[in-house]
Amino acid sequence: MRTRPLKVALLGCGVVGSEVARIMTTHADDLAARIGAPVELAGVAVRRPSKVREGIDAGLVTTDATALVKRGDIDVVVEVIGGIEPARSLITAAFEHGASVVSANKALLAQDGAALHAAAGEHGKDLYYEAAVAGAIPLIRPLRESLAGDKVNRVLGIVNGTTNFILDKMDSTGAGYQEALDEATALGYAEADPTADVEGFDAAAKAAILAGIAFHTRVRLDDVYREGMTEVTAADFRSAKEMGCTIKLLAICERSEDGASVTARVHPAMIPLTHPLASVRGAYNAVFVESDAAGQLMFYGPGAGGSPTASAVLGDLVAVCRNRLNGATGPGESAYADLTVSPMGEVVTRYHISLDVADKPGVLAQVATVFAEHGVSIDTVRQQGKDGEASLVVVTHRASDASLTGTVEALRKLDTVRGVASIMRVEGE
């Protein structure tokens, strides 16, 4: 074994960073044996140096992250700051000054992954980011390496633990969105400002990353259709139950049937209770991958938290260190397929639509005609009436999102349709 240690600079020492530092210290011998050389924590960049950090030599702590990554003797920079800047500049500077990078930064990777990969490639360095998607769950590496000889057709999963906790709570207790969110906040599963989670921004970033890797095609964050779960109601869960379904916030990356284009989207959807994703509880994550040869694979585990994220970071750290000792680099960006990324309108799926309608003869015929005119085939209709008001619940066969949107617009113009109570996609069948 090489005795000269590989030097690691840690950017950020919060929940994840402090756990990375702790494991690097307590498991130093294991890491050295697995890498083939010792690893040494050479510097820790933080915003508030006064905060006591147990187990970290105070002499390693600095507020000057830029100076740290530019030192020139750093082998690997571990970036767990999050956000776009200063993370992006620091990672770029790291490559320029000879370091490889391990990052857990989904927002940055989703927005600037291509440019960062290019910078890594230009300097012959590695950029690894298993921790950016689904925490501890090995997902990037299986997609990028294990399935490198296969053709992935779909990635469908629960990639945000906060929203899964909220939806699971709504499902199991009948609570409304706000009540479930309050509980998630009280328990620390939701942040004070939960926007990134509940509006689907976090999941959309992960979907962009996953779609890019799965389809060997650059998928920008703007390419990902995004719909949050703040509008999901207790009534939606009751409707879902009547259909033998539950509701999950899903990230779905799909290849079109002709194989020429791909789509990526995040939205709440009904899935059958028999689907394995339906039983993913609390803040856990789970991702289905469907490919030509392998068939259906599922990956399940804790999608967030200090220790699970640190596990993924350290797995990458070991890989990057091994590559460095080998004088090699791991797989970089693979975007050769360069498939068209289609807009949401071209997505084909099924829909569950609740309409408030007048309770009089001929309404169903009118509604059915509108669906037919837009080429949306109806699977089932359920009609419930009382006191001159009625509701119609329509479940469609597979249709394009554009056709469904056209249908709903036309329905809203019908005098007999008082309102569209909810529209939800049905997935996982």
| Omega before 86 within 30 of 0, i.e. cis | yes
User: How far apart are CB 182 and a second copy at their closest, in Å?
Assistant: 26
Under rule CB under 8 A, residue 301 binds a second copy: yes
How many Cα atoms sit within 13 Å of 163 on the Cβ side? 31
User: How far apart are CB 135 and a second copy at their closest, in Å?
Assistant: 8
Q: Which is nearer to a second copy, 173 or 296 (CB)?
A: 296
Binding pattern for the stretch 320-349 against a second copy, x by CB under 8 A and - elsewhere: --xx--xxxx-x--x-xx------------
Window of 65-73, 191-199, 310-318, 347-355 that interacts with a second copy by CB under 8 A: 310-318
Under rule CB under 8 A, residue 260 binds a second copy: no
Under rule CB under 8 A, residue 311 binds a second copy: yes
User: How far apart are CB 175 and a second copy at their closest, in Å?
Assistant: 22
**Angle formed at CA 399 by CA 398 and CA 400, multiple of 5 degrees:** 135
Contacts of a second copy in 146-205 (CB under 8 A): 146-151
> β-pairing, 284-291 with 295-302?
antiparallel
> β-pairing, 261-272 with 152-158?
unpaired
How far apart CA 173 and CA 171 sit, in angstroms, is 6
Contacts of a second copy in 116-145 (CB under 8 A): 130, 136-138, 141-142, 145
Count interface residues toward a second copy (CB under 8 A).
Answer: 58
51 labelled catalytic = no
User: How far apart are CB 162 and a second copy at their closest, in Å?
Assistant: 17
User: How far apart are CB 311 and a second copy at their closest, in Å?
Assistant: 4
What is the crossing angle of helices 161-173 and 234-242, to 10°? 70
Binding pattern for the stretch 262-291 against a second copy, x by CB under 8 A and - elsewhere: --------------x--x-----------x
User: How far apart are CB 36 and a second copy at their closest, in Å?
Assistant: 9
How far apart CA 324 and CA 339 sit, in angstroms, is 32
> Which residue in the set 57, 73, 191, 292 belongs to the binding site for a second copy (CB under 8 A)?
292
Contact 351, 402 (CB under 8 A): no
Choosing from 106, 125, 169, 206, the catalytic residue is 206
Contact 346, 398 (CB under 8 A): no
Using alpha carbons, select from 56, 38, 41, 44 the residue that is nearest to residue 8.
41
The two tokens of residue 142 are: 């299986």
How far apart CA 182 and CA 185 sit, in angstroms, is 5
How far apart CA 223 and CA 253 sit, in angstroms, is 11
> Which residue in the set 10, 13, 21, 23 belongs to the binding site for a second copy (CB under 8 A)?
23
Rg of the chain over all Cα atoms, to the nearest angstrom: 24
Q: Which is nearer to a second copy, 235 or 260 (CB)?
A: 260
Q: Which is nearer to a second copy, 142 or 268 (CB)?
A: 142
User: How far apart are CB 357 and a second copy at their closest, in Å?
Assistant: 40
Q: How many helices (H) and strands (E) does the chain have?
A: 14, 18
| Strand spans (E) along 59-167 | 61-62, 76-79, 100-103, 127-128, 152-158
Q: Which is nearer to a second copy, 28 or 378 (CB)?
A: 28
Q: Which is nearer to a second copy, 4 or 336 (CB)?
A: 336
Window of 19-27, 42-50, 206-214, 243-251 that interacts with a second copy by CB under 8 A: 19-27
> Which residue in the set 33, 84, 260, 372 belongs to the binding site for a second copy (CB under 8 A)?
33
Contacts of a second copy in 209-228 (CB under 8 A): 216
Using alpha carbons, select from 292, 281, 210 the residue that is nearest to residue 251.
210
Using alpha carbons, select from 133, 128, 139, 131 the residue that is nearest to residue 15.
131
Q: Which residues pair with 389 in a beta bridge?
A: 358, 386
Contact 53, 40 (CB under 8 A): no
Window of 220-228, 315-323, 341-349, 384-392 that interacts with a second copy by CB under 8 A: 315-323
The label of the residue with tokens 């020139």 reads 72
How far apart CA 59 and CA 14 sit, in angstroms, is 18
> Which residue in the set 97, 299, 343, 405 belongs to the binding site for a second copy (CB under 8 A)?
299
User: How far apart are CB 328 and a second copy at their closest, in Å?
Assistant: 4
How far apart CA 328 and CA 322 sit, in angstroms, is 8
Q: What residues line the site for a second copy (CB under 8 A)? A: 19, 23, 27, 30-31, 33-34, 130, 136-138, 141-142, 145-151, 216, 276, 279, 291-302, 305, 307-308, 310-319, 322-323, 326-329, 331, 334, 336-337
Active site residues: 206
